[in-house]
Amino acid sequence: MYDQLITEFLKVPAESNARYDIEKIRQAAEFAALSHEGQLRKSGEPYIIHPLEVAKILISYEMDDACIIASLLHDVIEDTAVTKEEVARRFSPEIAELVDGVTKLGRINYTSKEEQQVENLRKMLLAMAKDIRVIMIKLADRLHNMRTLEYQTEEKKRSKAMETLEVYAPLAHRLGIQNLKSELEDIALKYIDPIGYDEIVNDLEVFHENNERFDRIKSMITESLEKEGIQATTESRIKHIYSIYRKMFNQNKEFDEIYDLYAFRIIVDKTTECYNVLGLMHDLFTAIPGRLKDYIATPKPNMYQSLHTTVSFEGYLFEIQIRTREMHEIAELGIAAHWKYKTGRFGKDPLDEKLSWVRKLLEVQSDMNDGDDFIKTFKIDLFADQVFVSTPKGDIITLHSDSTVIDFAYAIHTQVGNKMIGAKINGRIVELTSRMHNGDVVEIITSESSGGPSRDWLNLVKTNEAKAKIRNWFKKEKREENIFFGKSSLERELKSNLINPANVSEQELFAPVLTRYGLETMDDLYAAIGYGAVSISKIMPRLKTDYSKLIRKQAEQEQPAPQIVRPRKKTTGGVVVDDIDNCLVRLAGCCVPVPGDEIVGFITRGSGVSVHQANCPHLKGIEPGRLVKVHWEDTENEYFATTLTVDALNRIDLLADISSALANMHIMTRGLSMQMMAHGDVRVVLNIEVHSLSHLEIVAKRLRKIKDILKVERS
Ligand code: MN
């Protein structure tokens, strides 16, 4: 098929400076021709002309084999029966990825938008492309389509031209590919403002015809360079049409008033020669003060380097640019210059740090430090933490990459989120937890009868914006429910931290929290917890310290009780933790230490220090860092609960004897149980209050004296 066309085409890569695998390129061209067989372009030409031309543009940038082959195949997935898998099988997975990338970009629906939206669209294109070469193919594809735009309908001409001007030319500019950018702009202008375009073209023709000065200046420059023996190439360059057009519009100027219509460019071998040539030019013409720009000493952020000077000759102003060949390549080819570095044409390390400008061009954040990998793989992951998706109308929404469709709904509008009942991605119904990918079209299904967001959504959404909006809804719509929900979760948490507000003044305990969050009543606090404005884990530490302070204060205020009037609540105090003030202390339930026992403190997670007997088996294997020194407080007024087991022969008044013995010693009994054992023995378990270990011993001794009691032991 189309053998003639393909043979002609193959001369281009064969004659390129870059070394191409001509056989592989031929296979790709033939496969493309076969796949597009029978298809015609709007111009009536066979379709295969288009991919061949796109490939030629990329060969002029010396892009690599994979890129050229992918460009030949760039429309086969979209327009023919060929699948990505087939491309991968016939060529390579790498090439299939490139073709697939171009195909996906082609599906983005463009409508003219405000500037911020256009910027998001450009970012979305970059993010979707994933590989710089995909963007290069897309740009070349667009360039050829623009060159052949005349065959399209009026409406299509206009919308393609606008899209080119707003999206593709700026992308080419970002990538530093100036001549591709200029051609795109000039063609786009021709369709957007044909009259303005023609005027400038005419003015430029007239200008050339009447301007023999132009040729005189050019020969003056070449002669003086020759005289000094400097090897140099001199180019003259006319400002491209779109930039003249923009200058005339933006600065409201006539064509004649634009003095930098053309510029001369002198390209030399070495940097030092640039400055020699500059001196030479300033001798030859009159330098305009303040118009010298040294981008060699201070390169532009995109590493553009050159000397610019504006001079005058016979009252006529023009610009001269002086640079080395290498600087020139970078200025003209932008990111595409990379492939030349890669082939070592400048004899440089391909990972030359100079190429970091690529990242700068693409506005990479400084935290991306993998510059070398970026250059090696051409991977674009500039927006790794962002995802760009669009509404069915084509508005682009940028979200954090973890976002769910719920985040998307709230990003569109609060009411869309609140009334959301479902979502579609690319036309398919998805779950609310679904993530989105770059370029997805997301549609939110809403219903007026929706009951509002669910509380679970707070855990599903990733953006603070959506969280805040959901909380706000709960705050307004569900006060009763919030109070209930907040109250029960706070009570649960207090209980697990051994805080019982009934033991202290509830008002005093919560006052600081209420003040801090600007709340008035406890119900306000419960409600705020319910809708998520107050987090329990944030208020808990403060409540814990305040609680133990209040408990302590209460204990101090209580009168030193006479032996018989017992402070009922003081069953857990009496232990001082060395080095720590105000901490919650409780006696361990496993070994129940009493004063006089050797004790050790264990820092629990979230419920203060638990005090164990030093030999308690539960302490074995505990990290030493969590043990603290503790000692018994010196006081006779504190009581401790402990348990004694009494084994005895049963008789009718055994319990009466035990109780009267305890009563005589002013011992408070907290609990008592009795159980029949074998052979008519009984076991009485007494839970009693004592001050200390020695006190306990006295009690045990006294009990042993009771008739029929066999054994008294601490259990
Ligand atoms: Mn195409």
Give the tens place of pLDDT for each residue, 141-151. 999 999 999 98
* 638/570 Cα distance (integer angstroms): 7
| Residue 345, in any domain of the structure | no
Q: Which of 78, 119, 193, 332 is catalytic?
A: 78
Q: List, in sequence order, every residue forming a beta bridge with 681; answer none if it has no partner.
A: 649
Residue 473 lies in a domain: no
155 and 213 co-located in one domain: no
One domain for residues 298 and 407: no
- 147 alpha carbon to ligand 1 midpoint, in Å? 12
Query: Does residue 210 lie within any of the structural domains?
Result: yes
Ligand 1 centroid from CA 92, angstroms: 20
Q: Highest-confidence range of 29-38, 451-460, 693-702, by mean pLDDT? A: 29-38
| Residue in 486, 448, 455, 485 with CA at minimum distance from that of residue 470 | 455
Please spell the DSSP secondary structure of 227-259, one letter per residue: HTT---EEEEEEPPHHHHHHHHHHTT--GGG-T
Question: Which one-letter DSSP state was computed for residue 445?
Answer: E
Residues 159 and 203 in one domain: no
Instruction: Confirm whether 657 is a catalytic residue.
Output: no
Query: What's the chain's average pLDDT?
Result: 82
- Tell me which of 430, 464, 498 is where a domain ends: 464
- Confidence bin at 193 (pLDDT 50/70/90): very high
Listed residue (379, 357, 356) closest to 176, CA to CA: 357
In a domain, 372, yes or no: no
256 and 324 housed in the same domain: yes
Longest Cα–Cα distance of the chain, Å, equals 139
Neighbours of ion ligand 1 (CB under 5 A): 75, 141
Q: Which two tokens stand for residue 212?
A: 């023999």
How far is 237 from 247, CA to CA, in rounded Å?
17
Give the three-class secondary structure for 213: helix
Q: What is the pLDDT of residues 194-224, one digit of tens each?
A: 999 999 999 888 877 777 777 888 899 999 9
Query: What is the 169 CA–ligand 1 centroid distance (Å)?
Result: 17
Percent of the chain with pLDDT over 90: 27
- Cα(182) to centroid(ligand 1), Å: 20
Q: What is the pLDDT of residues 572-631, one digit of tens each?
A: 467 777 656 556 778 887 888 887 788 888 877 666 778 888 888 888 877 766 777 888
3-state secondary structure of 286: strand
Counted domains in the chain: 6
| Cα 392 to ligand 1 centre (Å) | 24
Would you give the DSSP letter of residue 315? T
Relative orientation angle of helices 132-147 and 65-72, to the nearest 10 degrees? 50
On whether residue 137 sits in a domain, the answer given is yes
Q: Are 379 and 130 in contact (CB under 8 A)?
A: yes
- 495 and 452 assigned to the same domain: no
> What's the pLDDT score for residue 368?
36
Q: How many whole angstroms separate alpha carbon 396 and alpha carbon 122?
A: 10
Q: Quick check: 473 pLDDT over 70?
A: yes
Which residues, in sequence order, are CB contacts of 18 under 8 Å at separation 6+? 59, 62, 64, 339, 343
Average pLDDT, integer, range 111-134: 74
Tokens of 343: 């082939």
Q: How far apart are CA 462 and CA 99, in angstroms?
A: 33
β-strand partners of 630:
577
| Contact criterion met (CB below 8 Å) for 260 and 310 | yes
Per-residue CA distances from 527 to 350, 472, 534 (Å): 62, 12, 9
Please give the pLDDT value at position 265: 92
Range among 183-187, 295-299, 455-459, 611-615 with highest mean pLDDT value: 183-187
Most confident segment among 171-180, 529-538, 565-574: 529-538
User: What is the 93 CA–ligand 1 centroid distance (Å)?
Assistant: 20
Per-residue confidence at 1, pLDDT binned at 50, 70, 90? Answer: low
Say whether both 165 and 20 belong to one domain: yes
CATH of the domain at 670: 3.30.70.260
3-state secondary structure 378-414: CECCCCCCEEEEECCCCCEEEEECCCEHHHHHHHHCH
pLDDT tens digits, 519-562: 888 888 988 888 788 888 889 988 888 888 888 887 777 644 33
Note the pLDDT of residue 216: 87
Rounded to whole angstroms, the Cα distance separating 194 from 638 reads 100
Instruction: Kindly report, residue by residue over 654-704, the tens digit of the pLDDT.
Output: 888 998 888 888 888 888 888 888 777 899 999 998 877 888 888 898 898
Tell me how far the alpha carbon of residue 141 lies from the centroid of ligand 1, in angstroms. 5
Q: What is the residue type of 248? A: M
Q: Measure 75 CA to ligand 1 centroid, in angstroms.
A: 5
Q: Parallel, antiparallel, or unpaired: how do β-strands 233-238 and 262-268 relate?
A: antiparallel
Q: Which pLDDT score is estimated for 554?
A: 76
Residues 6+ apart with CB under 8 A from 509: 501, 543, 546, 547, 550
561 within domain boundaries: no
Local confidence band at 278 (pLDDT 50, 70, 90 cut-offs): very high
pLDDT for position 583: 64
User: What residues pair up with 642 in beta bridges, in sequence order?
Assistant: 688
Taking alpha carbons only, the member of 554, 615, 617, 544 closest to residue 586 is 544
**Which whole number is the average pLDDT over 464-484?**
82
Q: How far is the CA of 137 from the centre of ligand 1 (A)?
A: 9
* CA 290 / ligand 1 centre spacing (Å): 47
Q: How far is the CA of 71 from the centre of ligand 1 (A)?
A: 8
The amino acid present at 275, given as its one-letter code, is Y
Going through 282-346 in order, the beta strands assigned E by DSSP cover 286-287, 293-294, 307-313, 316-324
Question: Which CATH number is 452's domain given?
Answer: 3.10.20.30
Q: Same domain, yes or no, for 457 and 320?
A: no
Give percent of the chain above pLDDT 70: 87
Mean pLDDT of 122-140: 81
- 181 and 229 both lie in a single domain: no
CA of 558 to the centre of ligand 1 (A): 90
Query: Rounded to the nearest whole angstrom, what is the distance from the C-alpha of residue 401 to the centroid of ligand 1?
Result: 30
How wide is the angle at C-alpha 435 spanned by C-alphas 429 and 440, nearest 5°?
70
What pLDDT does residue 714 have?
Answer: 84
Both 455 and 533 in a single domain? no
Task: Kindly tell me if the per-residue pLDDT of 652 is higher than 60.
Answer: yes
For residue 638, the model assigns a pLDDT of: 67
Q: Mark which of 632, 660, 677 sits at the end of a domain.
A: 632
Beta bridge partners of 628: 601
Contact 391, 397 (CB under 8 A): yes
Q: Are residues 538 and 667 in the same domain?
A: no
> What is the whole-number distance in angstroms between the Cα of residue 196 and the centre of ligand 1?
29
3-state DSSP assignment of residue 92: coil
What is d(CA 46, CA 36) in angstroms, rounded to the nearest whole number?
A: 8
Neighbouring C-alpha atoms within 13 Å toward the C-beta of 250? 7
How far apart are the CA of 60 and the centre of ligand 1, in A?
Answer: 18
Specify the CATH number for the domain of residue 250: 3.30.460.10
CB 582 within 8 A of CB 609: no
What is the rounded distance in angstroms from the CA atom of residue 197 to the CA atom of residue 146?
15
CATH code of 163's domain: 1.10.3210.10
CA of 73 to the centre of ligand 1 (A): 9
The closest alpha carbon to 370, from 379, 361, 362, 18, belongs to 379
Residue 7's contacts (CB-CB under 8 Å, 6 or more residues apart) are none
User: How many angstroms separate the alpha carbon of residue 46 from the centre of ligand 1?
Assistant: 13
Q: pLDDT (tens digit, 9 = 90+) per residue, 227-264?
A: 988 899 998 877 889 988 988 887 888 887 776 777 89
Among 79, 332, 477, 523, the one annotated catalytic: 79
Quote helix, strand, coil % in the chain, to nearest 5.
50, 15, 30
Residue 13's pLDDT is: 94
Q: Is residue 374 part of a domain?
A: no
Residue type, 242: Y
Q: Quickly state the pLDDT bin for 567 (edges 50, 70, 90).
A: very low
Q: Which letter does DSSP use for residue 618 in this model?
A: G
Report CA(142)–ligand 1 centroid distance (Å). 7
> How many angstroms is it from 84 CA to the middle of ligand 1?
16
- In this structure, the answer to whether residues 183 and 201 fall within a common structural domain is no
Ligand 1: distance of its center to the CA of 357 in Å?
29
Q: Is 79 a catalytic residue?
A: yes
Q: 């990825």: which residue's tokens?
A: 97
Question: How many residues are given for the chain?
Answer: 715
640 phi and psi angles, rounded to 5 deg: -130, 140
For residue 240, report the distance from its CA to the centre of ligand 1, in Å: 26
Domain annotation covers residue 656: yes
Same domain, residue pair 401 and 321: no
* pLDDT of 606: 63
Q: What is the DSSP string of 637-699?
A: S--EEEEEEEEEE--TTHHHHHHHHHHHTTPPEEEEEEEE-GGGEEEEEEEEEESSHHHHHHH
Quick one: how many helices (H) and strands (E) in the chain? 30, 21
Asked if the model's pLDDT at residue 25 lies above 60, the reply is: yes
Instruction: Report which DSSP code applies to 435.
Output: B
Compare 284 and 364 and report the one with higher pLDDT. Answer: 284
Strand partners, 238: 262
Q: Are strands 316-324 and 262-268 parallel, antiparallel or unpaired?
A: parallel
**For residue 74, how far is its CA from the centre of ligand 1 (angstroms)?**
6
Distance (Å) from CA 428 to ligand 1 centroid: 28
Q: Of the candidates 497, 528, 556, which is a domain's last residue?
A: 556
User: Residue 448 sits in which domain range?
Assistant: 384-464
The kind and range of the H/E element at 159 are helix 154-163
- Per-residue pLDDT averaged across 328-344, rounded? 64
SS3 for 80? coil
